[in-house]
Amino acid sequence: MDLTAQYEQMLGALLPRGPAWDSDDPLLLGFAPSLERVHSRADALMLEIDPRSVTELIDRYESISGLPDSCTPTGTQTIAQRRKRLDAKLNLAGGINEAFYREQLDALGYTDATITRYPKSIFTCNSKCTDSLFTDEWRYYWRVNIPTSAQISSMTCTGNCTDSIRVWGDTVVECVISKLAPSHTYVIFLYSE
């Protein structure tokens, strides 16, 4: 049974008992389509609560959360890109551990990215031959490893003479992670095959 018919049945059931009332009254049946439209509109607005499915209220959500910000690329973004960025910003739980940054990378669409932390110990004369040659300062560095599959653009014959031969990287993810990184650390972004 469709929603309009359900509302017709519910409105008829609300009438008092007696011969003066008719559940097929045109006035009563005229309310059912309006109630169905209100019901459908309420269902559609429920999807607007979640930043992953917002469409109509995305501009309002972005203005409340301070988007677009300095991490937003110039030009036109798709609704899907805007939703990802909004979801990543609104559902920010906080933290300065690897799991927190993994969640941010996942929210930005980089589920296959990894994070490398450098060892806190330095190379000494007692270290193994296979140990890395990191100095004490390297404990403040960490690396985000991003596959380059969709992030490489090469120079074309229609490009300008000043264009780079090859460009890689995602300025949005670099900006977001760099903004969220603790101020005493340095983030390195590695785009690998």
3-state secondary structure the chain: CCHHHHHHHHHHHHCCCCCCCCCCCHHHHHHHHHHHHHHHHHHHHHCCCCCCCCCCCHHHHHHHHCCCCCCCCCCCCCHHHHHHHHHHHHCCCCCCCHHHHHHHHHHCCCCCCEEEECCCCCCCCCCCCCCCCCCHHHHHEEEEEEECCCCEEECCCCCCCCCCCEEECCHHHHHHHHHHCCCCCEEEEEEEC
Q: Is the dihedral of CA 85, 92, 178, 142 positive or negative?
A: negative
The pTM (predicted TM-score) of the whole model is: 0.56
56-75 per-position pLDDT tens digit? 989 998 888 888 888 777 77
9-38 per-position pLDDT tens digit? 888 888 888 777 777 778 778 889 999 999
How many C-beta neighbours within 10 Å does residue 40 have? 11
- Report pLDDT for 84: 84
- Report pLDDT for 39: 93
pLDDT above 60: residue 150 = no
93-147 per-position pLDDT tens digit? 667 788 888 888 888 888 888 998 877 666 677 777 776 666 677 778 899 998 8
Domain ranges of the chain: 96-192
CA separation for the pair 89, 173 (Å, rounded): 12
Q: Amino acid identity of 29?
A: L
162-176 per-position pLDDT tens digit? 877 777 777 788 888
51: number of CA atoms within 13 Å, CB side?
21
